[in-house]
Amino acid sequence: MPQIRQNIATKEWVIIATERAKRPEEFAKKLEKKSLPAFVESCPFCAGNEAKTPPEIMRIDSNGKWQVRVTPNKFPALSSEGKSVYSFEGLQRNITGIGIHEVIVETPLHNITTALLSVPEVENVLQAYLSRYISISADARIEHIIIFKNHGEAAGTSLEHPHSQLIALPVVPSQVRHRVEEAMRYFDDHGECVFCRMAKEEIESKERVVLESKDFVAFLPYAAFSPFHMWILPKRHAASFSEITRNELSDLSYVLRTVLAKLYWGLENPDYNYVLNSAPLDTGSRYLHWYVSIVPRVTKSAGFELGSGMFINVALPEKSAEFLRNVKIPE
């Protein structure tokens, strides 16, 4: 019998269609043995091609060479200049599209993938996220910051060189606002943060845990909306990513890198997105809890998902978690 599960934090329902269940390894795509060169002349993100990007915002160096570089997006979705002006006329509401759109180049090398970076290299990437997040938070025009990564074509990118993006918005998206409302309602009813409770219960039950570290737990939510959909939750309550400590950042690098490597080796380099979900800048610090969500693109969303916002997950989260726990990462 299928189940319809609710994610208690987001209040979203998911159909877990066990009749259609596949074995976890059936989601693996054939690992492409295509070998890429370390440097590609036309790639704007390769070391040596720095002139092909807009002027650099920051870099993290090692031995005089950059390891991570942040630049404005050459084709930004929002304009960084100007004020956010509201124009509300009858049914037509708009705001001038100001905001910030940056690219984080994760490595000078073209032919590597984030899952194969070393933990210190991933830490450099997270350090760049944090720096940019904190700087941009000071911009009074900005209400919400999203940091995300698209890996592979099914995940919406055609650029091979490992990179992530940051978009800072002058509005809070309605989906995010609904999450804040749900988190507040839970807090009002129970006197605690729903994500803190969830982290505790997942760690106790272990059923859906992929990896637990000192400061984080990576698990498939009870109502995971697709196979291998994971959350990495900090154990310590904090609404904003900007509150992460140096030690936690190190620990998160280890967890993120391990989880991505498990996907890489267990599912043969699947396309995926990850998103760093932090509270809107103006939210009370008690209610929401920041986290990273990772969504491997092993299935497609279609008309049902569009029309309902609900997902059909053809794998049991407990089975997917067990599979990932058992994936060995080669040394």
Q: Compare residues 150 and 258 and give the one whose CB is closer to a copy of itself.
A: 150
144 tagged catalytic: no
Q: Compare residues 300 and 328 and give the one whose CB is closer to a copy of itself.
A: 300
Could you give the CA distance from residue 301 to residue 295 in angstroms, rounded to a whole number? 12
CB of 254 to a copy of itself, least distance (A): 22
Cα–chain-centroid distance for residue 276? 4
Q: Compare residues 7 and 107 and give the one whose CB is closer to a copy of itself.
A: 7
CB of 220 to a copy of itself, least distance (A): 13
Residue in the structure block whose two tokens are 């993290």: 60
Q: Per residue in 147-183, is it b (16+ CB within 10 Å) or e — as a string?
A: bbbbbbebbebeebbbbbbbbbbbebeeebeebbebb
Q: Is 283 exposed, middle or buried (CB count within 10 Å of its CB: 0-12, 13-18, 19+)?
A: buried
Could you give the CA distance from residue 72 to residue 66 in angstroms, rounded to a whole number? 17
Decide if 3 contacts 16 (C-beta within 8 A): yes
End-to-end CA distance of the chain: 41
Q: Compare residues 130 and 312 and give the one whose CB is closer to a copy of itself.
A: 312
- Beta-strand ranges (E) seen in 132-208 are 144-151, 163-169
Could you give the CA distance from residue 295 to residue 228 in angstroms, rounded to a whole number? 7
Q: Compare residues 46 and 314 and give the one whose CB is closer to a copy of itself.
A: 314
CB of 276 to a copy of itself, least distance (A): 8
CB of 190 to a copy of itself, least distance (A): 10
Could you give the CA distance from residue 258 to residue 122 in angstroms, rounded to a whole number? 10
Q: Which of 101, 144, 151, 163 is labelled catalytic?
A: 163
CB of 71 to a copy of itself, least distance (A): 16
CB of 75 to a copy of itself, least distance (A): 5
Could you give the CA distance from residue 330 to residue 230 in angstroms, rounded to a whole number? 22
Q: Compare residues 254 and 290 and give the one whose CB is closer to a copy of itself.
A: 290
Could you give the CA distance from residue 277 to residue 219 in angstroms, rounded to a whole number? 15
Q: Compare residues 194 and 261 and give the one whose CB is closer to a copy of itself.
A: 194
Q: Is 263 exposed, middle or buried (CB count within 10 Å of its CB: 0-12, 13-18, 19+)?
A: buried
Side-chain-side CA neighbours of residue 53 (13 Å): 21
DSSP 32: P
Amino acid identity, position 8: I
CB of 327 to a copy of itself, least distance (A): 23
Q: Which residues are catalytic?
A: 163
